[in-house]
Amino acid sequence: MRRGYNAQPLTVIRVLLLAAACIATSGPAGAQNTDAFVTSYIKALNASMPPSGDADVVANAFAETGVHHGVNQGPPLVGREPIRRFFADFKNRWSDWTHIEKTRLVQGNRAVWEGTAEGHHKESGKYVRLPIVFFLDFDDQGKVRETRVYVDAHLVGEQLK
């Protein structure tokens, strides 16, 4: 009888340890966090855009040493201050600007977000709409470590003609 008594707690402990290991290594929890990080980033991005934008909001969504690549738009921006200056400049070019989601794909700490960026050009008042894709890499606290933004900037000029 004593052997059965001791075996049961060991079995329970083994099952609990196995369950804990499965939970600790499960992918969906990380993906769920990253999905929330993407939503938070897009909200911060849109909050930083004209007309009422605050570039600090989007800059603070990045890790201190975060990197923003505007593909085919010059060298990458490294650190919050250059990123803040980049987003602060939107108010000089656009009366309003927003990002609208079409699709997203999340895997681990990385995500691909696809949608449109649209708004009114400040000088001409013309409406501009562009396809845009973000490749995002997040740290465990939900800060952007790196983003690559794919957008054809030539489409702006074509739509302003």
Q: What percent of the chain has pLDDT over 70?
A: 81
Q: Tell me: pLDDT of 31 over 90.
A: no
Question: What's the pLDDT at 26?
Answer: 41
Angstrom distance (rounded) from CA 26 to CA 47: 33
Question: What's the pLDDT at 161?
Answer: 83
Question: What's the pLDDT at 15?
Answer: 44
Give the mean model confidence (pLDDT) for residues 50-64.
Answer: 93
Higher-pLDDT residue of 159, 22: 159
Higher-pLDDT residue of 75, 22: 75
Give tens-digit pLDDT for 76-97.
Answer: 999 999 999 999 999 999 999 9
Question: What's the pLDDT at 160?
Answer: 85
Question: What's the pLDDT at 8?
Answer: 55
Query: Could you give the domains of the chain?
Result: 27-160 (3.10.450.50)
Angstrom distance (rounded) from CA 32 to CA 72: 31
- Residue 143 C-beta-side C-alpha neighbours within 13 Å: 13
When mean pLDDT is compared across 27-36, 43-52, 97-106, 116-125, the lowest value belongs to 27-36
- Under the banding of pLDDT at 50, 70 and 90, the label for residue 30 is low
Q: Tell me: pLDDT of 12 over 90.
A: no
Give the mean model confidence (pLDDT) for residues 35-56.
Answer: 93
pTM of the model: 0.78
Angstrom distance (rounded) from CA 84 to CA 105: 26
